[in-house]
Amino acid sequence: MIVTIEPNDLARREEVPPRARRPLLGALAGRAGLGETFATEALAVILQSPALKHAFLQYLQRRLGTDLSHVVRLLTEVDHGVFGRTDIEGQDSTGRPALIIEAKFGASLTVEQVARYLRLQSSEPGDIRPGLLLLMPEARVEDAIHLLQQAERSVQHLRSATTSVSWTEVLDTLDAALGENERGSNSPEADIIQLRALVDARTKFVLRPVVPGDWRLRRVELAGLVDLVTQRLADALGVWRGPHIARRDIAFAPAYYLKVAGPVPNTYVAVGLHGGFAAEGLTPLWLRFHKVTGDGFAVKRIQALLGDTPEYGSSIRFDGGHLWTPVELDKNLADEALVDDIVRRVRSVLVAAGAESPNLQA
């Protein structure tokens, strides 16, 4: 363990209490591939249960205000050419898209993309009133409804009923519809628990712009972001991951440290929330090169490397014996896009510092 080989000042620090156990998919949520597409496919698998499919369509029928009794099958990733690819599609007996579900965590969604779905449904023959649902994290539902209104205004001969609901509301509905024979360790209930854990882990930190002063109210969101960024970094760099580190400096809250390949042996870095710097009006996320890096002799060397670069020379800080570089949050990004952007920024710092890993190249 990293903490056992660090000097006594770390060994004396108070241990961080262990975190509550999360279901498997929640614990692995930061891994590449466990994103929106995976969650959408998982939801479709759960809806293979006739009872849950019926409960789901009844729920959407109430929320959309249109008849969905003619939906006979649910398909995923249906390609409609110029109209786009639907995440989940409910088709009637003739194959018409009577229900389209666009599922998102944090990836962007445009008015034009939604308008294409509306045009697709309006182009189909028949007199049914189809439905279009945007399935979103709770923090994005209000914005999604506004986006739907914009898309509706851009479509002539609109036929679709539209709305947006949260993943949590859908999963609550499915859980409430479970019968006694659908609960237990190998059951639809267990599947819903796993999907809920994944959704919670991937959406609990969906961030609106973080402005100076409100970061204190966003600690839970930022902690989730730090966890995912750290997991993604460990995977991308191919480096060893340690436990939740013992620490006394409560102003800094990383998930754990990463032992990277350079510029000297025993180079330890971590991304975390720094309350002290954030209180100054700076970004709440920082990359720290721990002061014991290179057995305590290399932090100054890394400071010199970064200080000579135009990108980082004016922003690095030396505080508490540690070297710090800010990690800016792009207010226009969330979820996977935000995590990927932060990972890119951190990797750029590591390259400039000479803290490269054999697997650093994407």
Kindly state whether residues 255 and 340 are assigned to the same domain.
yes
Secondary structure of residue 175 in the 3-state scheme:
helix
Classify residue 124 as exposed, middle or buried by CB count within 10 Å of its CB (0-12, 13-18, 19+): middle
Kindly state whether residues 188 and 236 are assigned to the same domain.
no
Which parts of the chain have pLDDT scores under 70? Answer: 1-20, 30-32, 204-214, 235, 238-250, 262, 264, 294-297, 334-336, 356-362
Kindly state whether residues 168 and 236 are assigned to the same domain.
no
Kindly state whether residues 173 and 220 are assigned to the same domain.
no
Q: Which of 223, 174, 206 is nearest to 44 (CA)?
A: 174
Kindly state whether residues 215 and 287 are assigned to the same domain.
yes
pLDDT in tens, 145-172: 999 999 999 998 899 999 999 999 999 9
pLDDT number for residue 361: 40
| Contacts of 115 by beta carbon, 8 Å cutoff, 6+ apart | 151, 154, 155
Characterize the bridge pairing of strands 131-136 and 97-103.
parallel
Kindly state whether residues 148 and 124 are assigned to the same domain.
yes
CATH of the domain at 184: 3.40.1350
Final residue before a domain boundary, out of 153, 182, 203: 203
pTM score, whole prediction? 0.62
d(CA 180, CA 189): 10
pLDDT number for residue 1: 30
Answer yes or no: is 146 within a domain: yes
Kindly state whether residues 298 and 160 are assigned to the same domain.
no
Kindly state whether residues 72 and 183 are assigned to the same domain.
yes
Kindly state whether residues 43 and 186 are assigned to the same domain.
yes
Q: What are phi and psi of 8, to 5 degrees?
A: -60, -25
**Residues 233, 345: contact at Cβ < 8 Å?**
no
pLDDT number for residue 240: 59
Q: How many domains does the chain have?
A: 2
> 218 is in which domain, residue-wise?
207-352
Kindly state whether residues 212 and 199 are assigned to the same domain.
no
Number of helical (H) and strand (E) elements in the chain, helices listed first: 12, 12
Secondary structure of residue 241 in the 3-state scheme:
strand
pLDDT number for residue 57: 97
Answer yes or no: is 23 within a domain: no
Final residue before a domain boundary, out of 170, 188, 203: 203
**Residues 346, 327: contact at Cβ < 8 Å?**
yes
pLDDT number for residue 6: 38
d(CA 309, CA 262): 18
Kindly state whether residues 284 and 244 are assigned to the same domain.
yes
d(CA 236, CA 357): 9
| Contacts of 184 by beta carbon, 8 Å cutoff, 6+ apart | 190
Kindly state whether residues 199 and 216 are assigned to the same domain.
no
